[in-house]
Structure 1
């Protein structure tokens, strides 16, 4: 048997070998101590990140949206800022007198609850069928809404008697359910993600110590990122919500582990050549810093493109996640090398790399193993492989036609048990669907009746009232005959509240305030009211439904703007890194096709397997940003090594050798990243579950099909032209390797 011979020149002593021993000890020790301090600061900030997070959808709307303008004007009318809760109590067959008395007593208890505004509980309003009654409770937004709702629900449960059903729903109920769903984000999410990654690393490396070092580095990077983000949030520089928090955790763990895998692969190779740990460390850094920085820089650039978004929840994710990637990069290039220098060959125990042992970079095409066999297969049938892979991805992408990503009702955001969703369904059975969450209309005072007439003439509007401080209920009904009195017949109707020449009307809709039907109705009302008022003082439509509508509209705008920008930026980075034009075009095309295939399969799974009601418009956007930016990571890992091998072995041989060397690293990185994103599925949030599936499936597809078969086969078939216009495109196609590496048919 012949032994493969490396074409690499003899290793020369590196200048760093002359660094004094004391400095070799001091530098790693100092790095570890600095990162240990950041770990401590960040660990203390984990509990604080939830405190500075908000899940109020209205806060993430652009300032120019109509719902935002109405929200600002509404504060002038109402004074106290409040979030409404709707309590519904129901008995089959009709409410009894005892039930009515119990509901009245319940309203009194609610009013005495901390966090409920003074006079913030309405009288009980019976339904027309006599089987239900509803109460409106105004909760101070300055209080912990989830805690107040929990207390109100506890009182509601205590007041229930046999056969009497009660729920607390409305915006406050939804906010509390959402907060409960995010409750596991600090503990459960991290435990699941870290456990999955640890298990994969143990299986891949068969070493107990190496996974601990890698995860320790990744977790330290996360702690440093959390500390920084919390400080910026406290300084009102950043906004954070639950979904951003969850993505930050997963992204940092996954990316930092991926970069660690690349460095460790180079470090293991260096230990085969260098006896000194110090020299091996610098050799590993020389071989890995460029692809790691390029990979991290690509992800950061893609994330920062989100700053062009209109929707603030999209815009804030960019810098928050970019901060996480920065610390993942820093930890992978400083803390991890320091820890690996400290551990040396022992880190790989029991499979320690031996000096002089043949490393992956020296394996020939005819060597044993999965990746050499795959390389030989690609060499024999490159065109069949890349055409077949492309057709398979195209077939998968056809499922995109079934994707429903035009928004879902807010009551569907939380998966599993949701009292707000159950309460909303009960409300729709006995009251107008929009009861308690009316459309809020701000109109000029002299256009009050004209505005009311348009509202009342629109199908889907049940009733209209105008805010009035003179009314005991706080509002006066408005009909086609004008503002109506609430007192005895013939009494004065009272005066609407006027602020800066404007009045506030409330239109109760037939449809539930969080439904897509209500959003369509708000869109119609805006069109109908466009001719009322003046250009300087127009009629504005806001409220809970309008917030959801404007959120979806901004999300669709962001999706159409951000996706092309991300592609352009990543394309330019790849061209600079690879010093070529053709290869980046192929890589970007493969990533886009891979994303389309992942989205197509996901759409079929969401509709046919999970039965999801639809998806938020930002789901495809976030899925694209993560899959493209992170998928390009693997492109960079592969093609930077291919470029390095091509300079020695020629274009086609360089492609196959690059695949052999990076195959294990990329596969391990893909498994780790898929596992970390899949961990998002443990949180019962529709958006996060869908994002987890899209990214996890897309990463696996990218790892095992695109990066292992499609790209190597296509690049091999095209040969040196993929490096046009660089000097590599003008190199001879004939590989310059030793005869021992040739197959029997080639010798």
Structure 2
């Protein structure tokens, strides 16, 4: 890393990165090609529904996902009418409606994987159901779009036509990600640029962190693509969105910390290469330690049962390593090549006096030092008040609220539920080594004809339940089937929903304690203390619960969400703990450095004054990158974005600059127990004695 501070090697580093970027950009552009919109890898590992998904290739129809087309007439009671058979409460299906369904059946035959059955009429005579079997692969969303385009043409007046079922849901999800993918990245870049411009007030300097973050993202995407293409790494829809926020946020943060240290050393050294060498030596340890902490925390997801969680860990860790590599090599090379003028108009000159005391964070530190115990107690009370909102949290979004709007597939599903028993669009799939008798099990509306696998060793039976698959009644029916018929595999529909919920509960029980343990061990090793890491971890956990409670109040009363997605608590905890420890590590490591020279109390105040501005800017950047997720139409990402952004802001402006220094001041030198502060290390001498400048 120090090589990039030398005159000749700086140009060599730049040349290497130019070559790396030229190689990475084409590969990064191919990342969407390996995104798997539908894969058993996303499902819970080892669950029955996952095993059923893996066995689909052994049946004649292979991997099929039906596009269920619902044709319905709405009367005075609306589309959700529950009129019974023979009801005259509203208009019934007409001959023109039947002709439309028959015409669609013929037109869609080339897209279907198997012959399309005749439209099924509801008992009340007001709806038709047409199931078009599509191949369940990465082209499912595109084929479902063709189905939707075809069936929404030439629709008789007064007839509603909706595409639902697995294919319709895949189409809605694909539309949601495609529409916001590029705009989301653009909004991220604009927000980060705005924060950097506000921070540096320089027309040039803000470009360097932004360029480094963009290069980190390209290199990360290229590596992920290669691993997905040649090593079987699973990449799901939405992972690139999280990766964009993480890499842009963390890469910019590391750049801000290095720039702040470099600016300090430029005032002490006439030779900018020497200044960069010293800045790198002093900044590399906390930045690398931060990256290691975040990576280890993310890799705890390898203990997860959910396939999405399991794959997100290593992919995110690759992004952190990419950001670290760029900031520690490319950014120093760019800075020494460009020279001091890049800081214009506030160019740090050799001999300039350091910023005078009396800055905002220095003044805040002096006030905290007057009554530190009262300060941290009040801060803890604020966190506790927000955390009280957790008591009312509801988890578990149904499919109707997967998107922030009501998509076509959900509208179709509601119409189908009103006119047909159970959920015709998402039946259970019961797989066994022999035909099974499911008669007498409560909750089953009807069963289909058993289908034999191509090798004759398995049978599969479609089972329609009396309750919607998102309901508790449907989950209880799945449990009854699994108990009543040992040896069968029950998947699809409500079984998938049940297995997903069980896997998420497992991941919360296992991953959260594991993350806490790993991060605590890393902090103990880095700070060579026990009290400081325990206090830091306590503040981070407190800020997480405060953010969780505050976010739930926003979700319920501002956004109008009925519940929090089961994925949000784990994802929010993971990012907040890893990233929250990040900022506290920067602060505490600087306090340790300053305390070694000036004593504990003065070291706390100096550390806060020197890092307050840059860490606040870094927090704003990270909160902005995750806050951009709030514009997505996918509810889970909106909730993750709001939770992490609120948590980062709490940590940046309440926990890190107020509570942590107050705890450090109140505990005194015991903050470093059982270790002791190292002896003061002499700073590298300046190139020559500077002439003081005004």
Deviation at 1:519?
3.1
1:415 aligned residue (404, 408, 418)? 404
1:630 matched to 2:579: yes
Instruction: Give me the whole-angstrom Cα distance separating, in 2, the residues matched to 1:498 and 1:660.
Output: 72
Q: What is the 5 A alignment of 1:328-727? A: 328-360=323-355, 363=356, 367-405=357-395, 407-445=396-434, 448=436, 451-454=437-440, 457-458=441-442, 460-468=443-451, 500=456, 502-515=458-471, 517-527=473-483, 529=484, 532-533=485-486, 538-727=487-676
Q: In the superposition, relative to structure 1, how do residues 701 and 131 fare at CA in structure 2: closer, same or farther (>3 Å)?
A: same
Aligned partner of 2:24 in structure 1 is 42
Q: Deviations over 1:258-298 (max 9, x none)?
A: 00111000000011111111001101101100000000000
Instruction: Give me the whole-angstrom Cα distance separating, in 2, the residues matched to 1:574 and 1:306.
Output: 19
Instruction: Give me the whole-angstrom Cα distance separating, in 1, the residues matched to 2:565 and 2:348.
Output: 49
Instruction: Give me the whole-angstrom Cα distance separating, in 1, the residues matched to 2:668 and 2:419.
Output: 70
Deviation at 1:395?
1.2
What SS does structure 2 have at the residue aligned with 1:117? coil
Maintained 8 Å contact 1:466/1:506: yes
1:29 aligned residue (3, 8, 11)? 11
Aligned partner of 1:77 in structure 2 is 59
Instruction: Give me the whole-angstrom Cα distance separating, in 2, the residues matched to 1:517 and 1:55.
Output: 29
Deviation at 1:312?
1.3
Aligned partner of 2:41 in structure 1 is 59
Maintained 8 Å contact 2:422/2:445: no
Maintained 8 Å contact 2:438/2:481: no
Deviation at 1:24?
3.5
1:228 aligned residue (211, 223, 232)? 223
What SS does structure 1 have at the residue aligned with 2:205? helix
5+ long unaligned stretches in structure 1? 1-15, 469-495, 732-747
What SS does structure 2 have at the residue aligned with 1:136? strand
Instruction: Give me the whole-angstrom Cα distance separating, in 2, the residues matched to 1:411 and 1:75.
Output: 29
Please, which moves more after superposition, 55-64 or 686-695?
55-64
Q: In the superposition, relative to structure 1, how do residues 260 and 78 fare at CA in structure 2: closer, same or farther (>3 Å)?
A: same
1:245 matched to 2:236: no
What SS does structure 1 have at the residue aligned with 2:166? helix
Deviation at 1:221?
0.8
Deviation at 1:730?
11
Q: Deviations over 1:45-73 (max 9, x none)?
A: 34322221123264322442111222233
Deviation at 1:643?
0.2
Deviation at 1:355?
1.6
Instruction: Give me the whole-angstrom Cα distance separating, in 1, the residues matched to 2:181 and 2:495.
Output: 32
Please, which moves more after superposition, 46-55 or 308-317?
46-55
Instruction: Give me the whole-angstrom Cα distance separating, in 2, the residues matched to 1:56 and 1:98.
Output: 36
Please, which moves more after superposition, 625-634 or 374-383?
374-383
5+ long unaligned stretches in structure 2? 75-90, 681-694
Instruction: Give me the whole-angstrom Cα distance separating, in 2, the residues matched to 1:565 and 1:452.
Output: 42
Q: Deviations over 1:387-438 (max 9, x none)?
A: 0000110111111112222x22234212225111111111111112311211
Please, which moves more after superposition, 152-161 or 386-395?
152-161
Instruction: Give me the whole-angstrom Cα distance separating, in 2, the residues matched to 1:23 and 1:696.
Output: 35
Q: What is the 5 A alignment of 1:308-319? A: 308-319=303-314
1:86 aligned residue (64, 68, 71)? 68
Instruction: Give me the whole-angstrom Cα distance separating, in 2, the residues matched to 1:702 and 1:63.
Output: 35
Aligned residues: 663
Moved over 4 A (4+): 496-502, 514-517
Q: Deviations over 1:218-263 (max 9, x none)?
A: 1101110000000111114310112221111111110010001110
Instruction: Give me the whole-angstrom Cα distance separating, in 2, the residues matched to 1:131 and 1:41.
Output: 59
Deviation at 1:203?
0.7
Instruction: Give me the whole-angstrom Cα distance separating, in 2, the residues matched to 1:652 and 1:111.
Output: 78
Q: In the superposition, relative to structure 1, how do residues 185 and 359 fare at CA in structure 2: closer, same or farther (>3 Å)?
A: farther
Q: In the superposition, relative to structure 1, how do residues 23 and 627 fare at CA in structure 2: closer, same or farther (>3 Å)?
A: closer
1:117 aligned residue (113, 118, 132)? 113
Maintained 8 Å contact 2:432/2:459: yes
Deviation at 1:540?
2.1
What SS does structure 2 have at the residue aligned with 1:506? strand
Instruction: Give me the whole-angstrom Cα distance separating, in 2, the residues matched to 1:444 and 1:148.
Output: 33
Please, what TM-score do these two structures have when normalized by structure 2? 0.92
2:208 aligned residue (205, 213, 217)? 213
Instruction: Give me the whole-angstrom Cα distance separating, in 2, the residues matched to 1:677 and 1:548.
Output: 28
Maintained 8 Å contact 1:174/1:411: no
Instruction: Give me the whole-angstrom Cα distance separating, in 1, the residues matched to 2:347 and 2:547.
Output: 38
Deviation at 1:500?
4.8
Instruction: Give me the whole-angstrom Cα distance separating, in 2, the residues matched to 1:391 and 1:143.
Output: 50
1:290 aligned residue (275, 285, 294)? 285
Please, what TM-score do these two structures have when normalized by structure 1? 0.86
Deviation at 1:77?
3.0
Maintained 8 Å contact 2:56/2:62: no
Q: Deviations over 1:678-702 (max 9, x none)?
A: 1122221111110000000000000
Aligned partner of 1:144 in structure 2 is 139
Deviation at 1:346?
1.3
Maintained 8 Å contact 1:720/1:729: no
Instruction: Give me the whole-angstrom Cα distance separating, in 2, the residues matched to 1:642 and 1:162.
Output: 73
Instruction: Give me the whole-angstrom Cα distance separating, in 2, the residues matched to 1:553 and 1:358.
Output: 60
Instruction: Give me the whole-angstrom Cα distance separating, in 2, the residues matched to 1:730 and 1:340.
Output: 32
1:256 matched to 2:212: no
Maintained 8 Å contact 2:73/2:159: yes
Instruction: Give me the whole-angstrom Cα distance separating, in 1, the residues matched to 2:235 and 2:56.
Output: 25
Instruction: Give me the whole-angstrom Cα distance separating, in 2, the residues matched to 1:442 and 1:283.
Output: 66
Deviation at 1:557?
0.3
What SS does structure 2 have at the residue aligned with 1:273? coil
Q: In the superposition, relative to structure 1, how do residues 730 and 197 fare at CA in structure 2: closer, same or farther (>3 Å)?
A: closer
**C-alpha root-mean-square deviation of aligned residues, in Å?**
2.0
Aligned partner of 1:131 in structure 2 is 126
Aligned partner of 1:744 in structure 2 is none
